[in-house]
Structure 1
Amino acid sequence: MKFEQIEYFLKANHRGVITTKQKNGALHSSIIVCGAFKGKAAFVAVRGKSTKVRNLRHDSNCSLLVVTNDWREWINIEGEAQLFDYHNSDPEHTRLLLRDLFNVCGDSEHPNWQEYDNAMVKQDAVAILIKPDKIYGLIR
Structure 2
Amino acid sequence: MTDLADVRRIVAQDSGLASVSVVRADGTPHASLVNAGVLDHPVTGEPVVGYVTYGPVKLRTLRARPATSILWRAGWRWAAVDGDSELIGPGDVDAEQLRLLLRAVFAACGGTHDDWDAYDRAMLDEGRVAVLVSPRKVYGNA
- Fold in common (TM above 0.5): yes
Where in structure 1 are there 5+ consecutive unaligned residues?
Answer: none
Which residue, 71, 85, 109 being the options, matches 1:65? Answer: 71
Aligned with 1:110: secondary structure?
coil
Residue identity opposite 2:35 in structure 1: V
Aligned with 1:119: secondary structure?
helix
Counterpart position of 2:43 = none
Aligned with 1:74: secondary structure?
strand
Aligned with 2:119: secondary structure?
helix
Deviation, 1:10, is 4.6
Alignment size in residue pairs: 134
Aligned counterparts, 1:19-58, within 5 A: 19-38=21-40, 39-45=47-53, 48-49=54-55, 51-58=57-64
Counterpart position of 2:9 = 9
Per-residue CA distance 1:100-128 (angstroms, 9 max, x = gap): 111111x2421111111111111110111
Aligned with 1:124: secondary structure?
coil
Deviation, 1:50, is 5.4
Q: Compute the RMSD of aligned alpha carbons.
A: 1.7
Aligned with 2:135: secondary structure?
strand
Matched, 1:98 2:102: yes
Percentage of matched positions with identical amino acids: 28
Deviation, 1:6, is 2.6
Where in structure 2 are there 5+ consecutive unaligned residues?
Answer: 41-46
Matched, 1:123 2:129: no
CA contact 1:77–1:135 (8 Å) conserved in 2? yes
Residue identity opposite 1:114 in structure 2: D
Residue identity opposite 2:48 in structure 1: K
CA contact 1:2–1:135 (8 Å) conserved in 2? yes
Kindly tell me: are residues 31 and 6 of structure 1, through their superposed partners in 2, closer, same or farther at Cα, counting changes over 3 Å? same
Runs of 4+ in 1 over 3 A off after TM superposition: 1-5
